[in-house]
Amino acid sequence: AAAEKGGFRSFMDKEIDEQPQAVADTLLGRTDAAGALVLDELRIDEEALKRVSKIVLVACGTASYAGMVAKYAIEHWTRIPCEVELAHEFRYRDPVVDDRTLVVSISQSGETMDTLMAVKHARELGAMTIAICNTHGSTIPRESDAVLYTHAGPEIAVASTKAFLAQITAVYVLGLYLAQLRGGTYADEAQAVMKELHEVPAKIRTVLDAMGRVREIARFMADSPAVLFLGRHVGYPVAMEGALKLKELAYIHAEGFAAGELKHGPIALVEPGQPVFVVVPSPSTEHGLHGKVVSNIQEIRARGARTLVIAEEGDESVVPFADEIISVPTVPTLLAPLLTVVPLQVFACELASAKGLDVDQPRNLAKSVTVE
């Protein structure tokens, strides 16, 4: 087993380190020489795709956060309304679905029963179904009209890391493809965004190479009873995933919130010494969101929170309110989750290891849950 881990302490450490490759491989072969998106592999009726009036993303666990990222990106790029729903909730609530609905499932294993049942239900209701999946020949792709494989390679650790980044990459590819196919405002920009995406793997490597301080913080924090995570826009699903990773790996009570929701309740949880991770949008993000999140940091800091801030490199505005700053390279706002989630994965993995826990096989969890 030591050899299989390639010198890493755990499969999870190894898989976190493989993320640049997982993203690069998921982009590979999906553009032509001119940079246009080519998804012939979908083998799906293009006319039917052009008629799609609504997209529903269904998934469980970490994959559902890739679905949340998808909603922000795909609606922006295509203007097709997107919903994202936990697969088990979608299946049992009489959802509005018809033959112009595209149901996109996201699953690493392709065997998650809750997700499979949602896909089957969607097909019964006449929807078109596309599976985003990491496992060739698995059940969900077989039960779907089309499949877009993520190429993260086998993921051994129970909690998902590199498959998550590959899922996010795949939803970007799908969204940009739809934008290109359907024409409209973003059709011309799809290629430019793809170009930015191709630069992301090297930026993930930059983040990974600078994790020394995050590991140190994680080891200091091994006794924390609770950790909060705040994010806004695409930083919101990142905050959710940061919290989930900490629960799964380190058995620490953790919650992710939309930063704008802070004043509507969660701020009551903040007492002196409470650690709070804040995922800050790029200063270039529209509608002044950056300033709003910086104000949130200020508000919780004034109440004694210990603020751990993930921000774009060179963002000086967070300096006065941050106990710790974790910098990530500049990318377009919608692509930021591929960078900002990495320190949160490393944090959870390192903290769990410091507690002496088995990060690859956390208690009570299974890699794929094949019962409803």
Residue nearest to ligand G6P (CB): 61
User: How near is the Cβ of 363 to ligand G6P at its closest, in Å?
Assistant: 12
Residue 161 or residue 274: which is nearer to ligand G6P going by CB?
161
* Range list of H helices, the chain: 11-17, 19-27, 46-51, 62-78, 87-91, 113-124, 139-142, 162-182, 190-198, 200-209, 212-220, 235-250, 289-302, 337-354
User: How near is the Cβ of 62 to ligand G6P at its closest, in Å?
Assistant: 4
Q: Over the range 101-137, which residues count as b (16 or more CB within 10 Å of their CB) and which as e?
A: bbbbbbbbbbbbbbbbbbbebbbeeebbbbbbbbbee
Question: Which of 204, 116, 131 has the alpha carbon at shortest distance from 162?
Answer: 204
Q: Are 336 and 281 in contact (CB under 8 A)?
A: yes
d(CA 14, CA 34): 34
Could you list the active site residues? 367
Residue 106 or residue 276: which is nearer to ligand G6P going by CB?
106
Alpha-carbon torsion 233, 150, 339, 4, what sign?
Answer: positive
User: How near is the Cβ of 108 to ligand G6P at its closest, in Å?
Assistant: 3
Q: Are 167 and 150 in contact (CB under 8 A)?
A: yes
* Range list of H helices, 79-186: 87-91, 113-124, 139-142, 162-182
d(CA 146, CA 131): 6
- Contact positions toward ligand G6P, by CB under 6 A? 60-63, 107-109, 112, 115, 158-160, 365, 368-369
Residue 58 or residue 318: which is nearer to ligand G6P going by CB?
58
Residue 175 or residue 362: which is nearer to ligand G6P going by CB?
362
User: How near is the Cβ of 121 to ligand G6P at its closest, in Å?
Assistant: 16
Residue 146 or residue 276: which is nearer to ligand G6P going by CB?
146
Question: Which of 11, 19, 355 has the alpha carbon at shortest distance from 162?
Answer: 19
d(CA 65, CA 243): 11
Residue 109 or residue 340: which is nearer to ligand G6P going by CB?
109
